[in-house]
Structure 1
Amino acid sequence: MKSVYLVAIIITIIIGSFFNWILCCEQTETITIEEEYIESVKEDYEEVVEDKKNAPVVNPLIIVDSTGSFSYKSNDNFNFHESDFIIIRPLGPGVDKGVMQVKEYLSSNKNVQITGFYEAREENTSAFPNLGYARANAVKNHLVAKGISAKQINTYGKEMDPLSEYRDVLVGPVSLVITEDAGFKNAEEVVGRIKEQPIVLYFETGKSTINLTEEQRERYLDIVRALDKVDDISVVIYGHTDNTGNAENNMILGKDRAEFIKAYLVRNGISAENIETVSKGQNEPVANNNTAEGRAENRRTVITIK
């Protein structure tokens, strides 16, 4: 009899242990599956967040006619590095597609208004009053290269904070609007004013450095606009020196200075074909070469229009 009870107790213990093992393992397995699922979802979420963080900023190129029905939009755009005004290339296909549609759409009474934007924190590395004008001029030159007349393009510069940015690249800091506004109207007057008051830049002895004042930047903008609007004019740069050294070397130095300024103007958007350089050497002083002050005035280049 005792043996029967003993067997029954043993069987009960075995059965209880079996069910306890089953339930325990199932619970452990369930917890493991839940943890793995949560971990995988977390990883997916982190990947999505990271992808979003690294995704390019989409600031679309939008071209509209403020007085008509033309409208164009593309995710491609004109992009620039910070504190720079050179268009980053290659351009996306959507940019030139839009430019060609604008070219086909423009009529004699329509113009393209290009506004370039800049942030206050950016350094103005251009010859223009601000980077906005410089960027607008770069876009203008691209449109001209595609066959749109410069006479139908007006450029402007405007501060805007903040600009759309992706990895130190400013995405589309320009706007293009088709309008009937004639824009820059007094080009002939500007040409006369520049001839009377050309841009004069001074050099230290044996050095070629450029430091434009705000007034000179405004004059440079006038020169660029005048070239766009008036036929049969060009820029001429005269290089002058003091009488230090010999006359022959000073003729070379004057030419070098004029060529240095030419390269600077070309980088700032004026076609090399529209610029002539002439050296006057030491032959046309404006001050007395017997004084340091006078020699400093004679070491100069003169930028004007002819």
Structure 2
Amino acid sequence: MSKKATYLLGILATLIIGCFLYHQFCCVPCGTACLKKDKTVILSPDSTALHPTYPFALNSNDFHFTTQNNFNFLKNDFKKLLPIDDSITLGTNSLKAFFEKNTATLKITGFTRKDEINNSIFPNLGYARANDVKNYFIAQGIPSAKIEINGVTSDDIMVQNETLLGPVTFDLIKPTSETKPETDWQAIKTQLNSDPLTLYFDTGQTQIALTETDRQKIANMIHYIDHVENAKLDVVGYTDNVGNRETNIHIGQQRADFAKNYLIQNGVAPDKINSNSKGPDNPLQSNATKEGQAKNRRTVITIH
């Protein structure tokens, strides 16, 4: 046998032995894990566990688009990190073209980890992230009425250097043969306005303390204005009757504008909010007591 043939046989034997050892010691212990490609699994540097990063995937029976890039967020924050990857922009443009010719709903689910602080106006940070991504789609020309959002708490999300990678998933839902009854939006509006969101806060505050009930009211109101054409939020500031009327009207407007700006900072579109003042008009309680005056110094948010 020639030296060349012997050399080639040696290389072949090395490759065969190497493949056998790799299969024996790498693939066998994890069973079929090597064959699963639905999620990209990466080791988080600040965790000993494996967490998936979800891709940007938009799929239905007649529309398919997937890229491993997705929207990312800093921990404890609901605003997406910029810039947005070009592949996401490409997918969004394709989705816009699909919506122009088809009837469907895009469901966005945002995720939050249990150890995160909800500093948003929404029921949880995942919901706030879904709302922020929704605003991106709206800015790209996709109607808000075609989008539904939700928030879920889950620790099955990758964190890398205080950044959550892809904590957002998407479902493209086409209507089925079972037609759902048309939503009675007028009844929903009446119900929401019968128990409006009322805020009390001191001058100089930079944040508004919201209860879980308040956050859910805001989510319900935004869902309404997203789906009903020309619907807006009315933010009205009120005062007690101490001092002259002109001054109180001004103070009421300051309170309404503060609440409006706070909503905008949290992802509500500016053109969806009206703000005005009624000063000392329509008091909730008598101004004869300090307690009554405190209840009258308020900001009320309803649907217009």
TM-score (norm 1): 0.76
Q: CA deviation at 1:60?
A: 5.2
Q: 1:178 aligns with which of 156, 172, 175?
A: 172
User: Larger Rg: 1 or 2?
Assistant: 1
Q: 1:157 aligns with which of 151, 154, 172?
A: 151
The total of aligned residue pairs comes to 251
Counterparts of 1:247 and 1:225 in 2: how far apart (Å)?
36
Q: CA deviation at 1:243?
A: 2.4
Secondary structure at the counterpart of residue 119 of structure 2:
coil
Summarize the alignment of residues 103-182 of structure 1 with structure 2, pairs less than 5 Å apart.
Answer: 103-106=96-99, 107-180=101-174
Q: Tell me if the contact between 2:107 and 2:148 (Cα under 8 Å) persists in the aligned partners.
A: yes
Return 5+ residue gaps in structure 1 as ranges: 1-51
Counterparts of 2:143 and 2:109 in 1: how far apart (Å)?
17
Percentage identity across paired residues of the two chains:
35
Q: Any idea what the Cα deviations from partners look like across 1:135-193, whole Å, max 9, x if unmatched?
A: 11111110011111111111111111131112111111000111125899454432221
Aligned CA RMSD, in angstroms, stands at 2.3
Counterparts of 2:123 and 2:182 in 1: how far apart (Å)?
16
Q: Tell me if the contact between 2:240 and 2:294 (Cα under 8 Å) persists in the aligned partners.
A: yes
Counterparts of 1:162 and 1:59 in 2: how far apart (Å)?
9
Secondary structure at the counterpart of residue 105 of structure 1:
helix
**In the alignment, residue 201 of structure 2 is paired with which amino acid?**
F
Q: Any idea what the Cα deviations from partners look like across 1:23-74, whole Å, max 9, x if unmatched?
A: xxxxxxxxxxxxxxxxxxxxxxxxxxxxx969xx9935332334x0422222
Secondary structure at the counterpart of residue 192 of structure 1:
helix
Summarize the alignment of residues 223-302 of structure 1 with structure 2, pairs less than 5 Å apart.
Answer: 223-302=221-300
Q: Tell me if the contact between 1:60 and 1:73 (Cα under 8 Å) persists in the aligned partners.
A: no
**In the alignment, residue 95 of structure 2 is paired with which amino acid?**
V
Q: Any idea what the Cα deviations from partners look like across 1:221-276, whole Å, max 9, x if unmatched?
A: 01111011111211111001112333322211111110010011112222111111
Q: Residue in 1 aligned with 2:25? A: none
Q: Residue in 2 aligned with 1:93? A: 86
Q: Tell me if the contact between 1:64 and 1:178 (Cα under 8 Å) persists in the aligned partners.
A: yes
TM-score (norm 2): 0.77
